[in-house]
Structure 1
Amino acid sequence: MGRNTRKRRTPLATKIVAGAAALAVGGGGLVWANFYASAHEEHSGHNRTRSAAAQVATIDCPDVGQEIRDVPDRARGEVDGELATMDSQITDAYQRLATTRRAQAGDAQFVQNAILGPLKDRRKAIIDRIQLEINRAGGKADDNLDQLAECQGRPADQMQNGDGQMDDGQNQGGNGGDNGNGVAGPVADDFVDINDVQPNSRDSRNGLAANGDGGSTGTFTTDCGVNENNVFNSDNLIAAPGVDNGAHHTHDYVGNQDNDAFSSDEDLANADTSCQNQGDRSTYYWPVLRLQDGTQEFDANDQGGGAEGNIGKILKPAEARIQFVGSRQGDVVAMPKFLRIITGDAKSFTNGDANANTSWSCSGFEDRQVTDKYPLCPEGSQVLRTTNFQSCWDGQNIDSANHRDHMAFVQEDGSCPNGFQAIPQLQIRLAYDIPTPTVENGQVQNPYAVDSFPEQLHKPITDHNDFINVMDENLMNKVVDCINRGEDCQ
């Protein structure tokens, strides 16, 4: 497989961490040190359990980007760049956490003194710069952002609840061990037999289907393929424009073929598209799924790929269904060109599930949806990833400082919150042919996993999806007309 290299600066180099206790799977890719290494240095089963439970599995940092509101337009590029630097700091700190297990076992204060303390100081310096940039541009920076500088170490036996707080409880960090591949996740607890999922039990606060029997009942389907052109990169044009490797994980792209961090709106408007309807130059992208089978992909030694724990064979969807639907409460209005929507949260494991919008299932079991588990599907059934995007727009902005406030989900009755108006709802359904992993004795063999920020441990709840509208005016008008007239178009 290849990757999108237009305007790529230089080949991405593998980061070498001094003293890294890392191994290579099949000779390719950085593999994180075993989180439970110190546990195995103990002799009794009791000591092994106690040591493993006490060990810090990952780093939990407040998401500064989600708390920023008043950022003048002329400061947004600088602020997004600073936030991307913060992400890199967390990645670096996590890398140090994962490669200093022996030192941690010998010094109870090592993580705090050598990793979390310096990380807080670096984050504080960036927060200060963000506040300065906002104020210089005529905004009013939140004086309380400094409170978000400190990060915590999360022990392996703690999990996140919906309020973003950690609770003692089921082992969310892992069952001990690394499934033999060295990387931190997924683990056995991240999988569930689809037959064990209760029908219609998914929490649907987010991701509600906007359409129904009333209102605007039409649909518009756009066929953009399944990334046959092998357009991949680890950028994020929406959240980290102008920043190489802003996502720290690899994305699949369909539709617009000019997608990297340095693409301007003009670049997008003039680009080729993989969509059959050439009036749709929109960009649709999501983190790739990988089968952790030892395959060395094109990015096995790159940042965003194997160098940051995203290893194995990239799995393309067998089908990518991209559809726009209407509103249960009435007509929809046209999306503005270059509208940006992020749905789901790539940091849900540490942020909590307030912005999570994950829906995993199996074909033939679509009434059984899960947000925080990967499904184990029976033979002949495909793994499904389904995303219903926010479909209420503030009527003014194509983006917002935290990339969320200009959009909202429909309410339970299908209406938009006050001040928002209904636009066509984007629904993406990805179907994959994946050999079902085997879970035995608390370990999962040949797991599949979504690419993630390293510290998010490949948790299924971190799945997310991104969209930039680059339909021409005629096509967008057709989409709106089809939906409002109750027709099914493509």
Structure 2
Amino acid sequence: MGRNTRKRRTPLAAKVVAGAAALAVGGGGLVWANFHASAHEESPAHHRTRSAAVRVATIDCPDVGQRIRDVPDRARGEVDGELATMDSQITEAYKRLATTRRAQAGDSRYVQNAVLGPLEDRRKAVIDRIQLQINRAGGKADDNLDELAQCQGRPAEQPQDGDGQDGDGQNGDGQDQDGDGQNQDDNGNGVAGPVADDFIDIDDVEPGSRNSRNGLAADGDGGSTGSFTTDCGVNENDLFNSDNLIAAPGVDNGAHHVHDYVGNQDNDAFSSDEDLANADTSCRNQGDRSTYYWPVLRLQDGTEEFDANDLGGGADGNVGRILQPAQAELRFVGNQQSDVVAMPKFLRIITGDAKSFTNGDANANSSWSCTGFEDRQVTDKYPICPEGSQVVRTANFQSCWDGQNIDSANHRDHVAFVQEDGSCANGFRAIPQLQVRLVYDIPAPAVENGEVRNPYAVDSFPEQLHKPITDHNDFINVMDEGLMNEVVDCINSGKDCE
């Protein structure tokens, strides 16, 4: 199945926001830019996120993409593009929300009238186009998608003082602002997080804890017990971009946050399957041209990273020093109940949900821990590790496949997690399960008096406030047929191969 063949090769560092001028003259855009400038101004409170005095609201919109089913193949590209447009609309609405605190304090209806109402109108227009595109291509669009146009204002989950927020999720008075209606103590990201409540000492996590329905490990004592490990490095080539080839093909900055890439080296929104098949790879086994990618972690220490003014980076609220993993372990394992079958070439899998702060945890698959404490896993907190221990991010991918499709309209329905007993349901077939383990050397943030100093955080859509539960991983299988057969043989025969 070929994807977009048009290529655009612009290094992320060179994408000095073309839209910056538009933001500067648009609703609150110039003030948004000032957020990022403030990250590097020295002050007694420099490099600190306030979580007690500042009220932060975000935009909570129904995820239209998760409601779409049975999109004809010839309409998929257009529909994905429209969904990416909706993400951009939410981003712009969030920026307006974050840069109009004074106006909100003076008008109880400001958020509804100036932010949420116009956003609903724009979303309704996009939904109408999506329905039209599906129907024109011979499908049958859901007539009830219009009910997903309305968004809500939502308070951030952090300590608050004084008055609460009103029904629109907007701020009352008593805000900690400077002369422009801004808070300067925000790590440069427009008080978009993380906050103190997003962190937990690993010693305070109970062993055996994991409050997530997803991420079940497929391997066990029965079935197919072997494994295959592929070594693809830790992104030593510094391949970064804010595209998302799976969810937003053909859309520049479709992710609104930056990804690390290992494996395939021709990986942007405009890469076709042919491009992927012919690309270089960072994997030691040159038969593995698969693409493995995840949002970067950043240390919000005031560093002006190469993308400080770029889309996906500072222009989308992702600021600070990008942290390279010390280790990136990529391992394929078997199934507790059966042998596994080969993955089809160009199979696409997304695990986790980049919008789970507003979507809820139905598709969340985040897991955070520390080396030496990996029997303690948390989904909705960043761990604070003791001296000598490193931060660990892990992800167990879906390992049941429908046997037919390499993708689906919502990029989820063609694959599934195993059931509690390790088997695949609904006629799905067991495939090798990808397990990703990322290890980072990160100085422990200090949390005192409701504030966190020098926090680290995962890149996110702006309105997701860098919440740890939004962590996610992406994979496209581009292994040679011979190598995939070797993977399957190793797993099914109980061997551990590299």
Compute the TM-score of the two structures, normalised by the length of structure 1.
Answer: 0.89
* Unpaired stretches in structure 1, ≥5 consecutive residues: 31-38, 41-47, 160-166, 168-174
- Report % sequence identity: 79
Q: Distance in 2 between matches of 1:111 and 1:8?
A: 36
Assess if the C-alpha contact under 8 Å between 2:225 and 2:334 holds in 1. yes
> What secondary structure does 1:143 align onto?
coil
Are 2:10 and 1:8 aligned?
Answer: yes
**1:283 is matched with which residue: 291, 308, 323?**
291
Assess if the C-alpha contact under 8 Å between 1:28 and 1:300 holds in 2. no
**C-alpha deviation, 1:297, in angstroms:** 1.1
Assess if the C-alpha contact under 8 Å between 1:247 and 1:453 holds in 2. yes
Q: Which aligned pairs between 1:62-461 and structure 2 lie closer than 5 A? A: 62-156=62-156, 180-183=186-189, 184-461=192-469
Calculate the aligned-residue CA RMSD, in Å.
2.3
Assess if the C-alpha contact under 8 Å between 2:40 and 2:302 holds in 1. no
Assess if the C-alpha contact under 8 Å between 1:322 and 1:427 holds in 2. yes
What corresponds to 2:59 in structure 1?
A: 59
**C-alpha deviation, 1:17, in angstroms:** 3.8
> What secondary structure does 2:31 align onto?
coil
Assess if the C-alpha contact under 8 Å between 1:56 and 1:155 holds in 2. yes
**C-alpha deviation, 1:156, in angstroms:** 3.5
Closer, same or farther in 2 for the Cα pair 1:441/1:299, shift >3 Å? same
Q: Distance in 2 between matches of 1:400 and 1:370?
A: 29
**More divergent stretch after superposition (396-405 vs 200-209):** 200-209
Which one-letter code corresponds to 2:260 in the other structure?
A: D
**C-alpha deviation, 1:201, in angstroms:** 1.7
Closer, same or farther in 2 for the Cα pair 1:157/1:388, shift >3 Å? closer
Cα shift readout 1:127-154 (whole Å, capped 9, x = no counterpart): 0000000000000000000000000001
**C-alpha deviation, 1:24, in angstroms:** 5.2
**More divergent stretch after superposition (100-109 vs 331-340):** 100-109
Q: Distance in 2 between matches of 1:155 and 1:27?
A: 23
Assess if the C-alpha contact under 8 Å between 1:26 and 1:295 holds in 2. no
**More divergent stretch after superposition (108-117 vs 200-209):** 200-209
Which one-letter code corresponds to 1:8 in the other structure?
A: T
**More divergent stretch after superposition (98-107 vs 450-459):** 98-107
Q: Distance in 2 between matches of 1:135 and 1:17?
A: 39
Q: Distance in 1 between matches of 2:74 and 2:238?
A: 34
Assess if the C-alpha contact under 8 Å between 1:29 and 1:309 holds in 2. no
Cα shift readout 1:67-109 (whole Å, capped 9, x = no counterpart): 0002000000000000000000000000011111111111111
Assess if the C-alpha contact under 8 Å between 1:291 and 1:315 holds in 2. yes
Closer, same or farther in 2 for the Cα pair 1:6/1:276, shift >3 Å? farther
> What secondary structure does 2:144 align onto?
helix
> What secondary structure does 1:83 align onto?
helix
Assess if the C-alpha contact under 8 Å between 1:29 and 1:301 holds in 2. no
Which one-letter code corresponds to 2:421 in the other structure?
A: D
Q: Distance in 2 between matches of 1:143 and 1:423?
A: 35
**C-alpha deviation, 1:180, in angstroms:** 4.3
Cα shift readout 1:367-411 (whole Å, capped 9, x = no counterpart): 000000000000010100000000000000000000000000001
Q: Distance in 1 between matches of 2:480 and 2:220?
A: 27
Closer, same or farther in 2 for the Cα pair 1:59/1:204, shift >3 Å? closer
Are 2:31 and 1:21 aligned?
Answer: yes
Q: Distance in 2 between matches of 1:328 and 1:178?
A: 53
Assess if the C-alpha contact under 8 Å between 2:158 and 2:195 holds in 1. no
Closer, same or farther in 2 for the Cα pair 1:481/1:449, shift >3 Å? same
**C-alpha deviation, 1:353, in angstroms:** 0.3
Cα shift readout 1:35-54 (whole Å, capped 9, x = no counterpart): xxxx99xxxxxxx97xx6xx
* Unpaired stretches in structure 2, ≥5 consecutive residues: 1-6, 42-49, 160-166, 168-174, 177-182
Q: Distance in 1 between matches of 2:77 and 2:212?
A: 33
Compute the TM-score of the two structures, normalised by the length of structure 2.
Answer: 0.87
Closer, same or farther in 2 for the Cα pair 1:415/1:178, shift >3 Å? farther
Q: Distance in 2 between matches of 1:369 and 1:337?
A: 32
Closer, same or farther in 2 for the Cα pair 1:285/1:157, shift >3 Å? closer
Q: Distance in 2 between matches of 1:157 and 1:409?
A: 29
What corresponds to 1:172 in structure 2?
A: none
**C-alpha deviation, 1:8, in angstroms:** 2.5
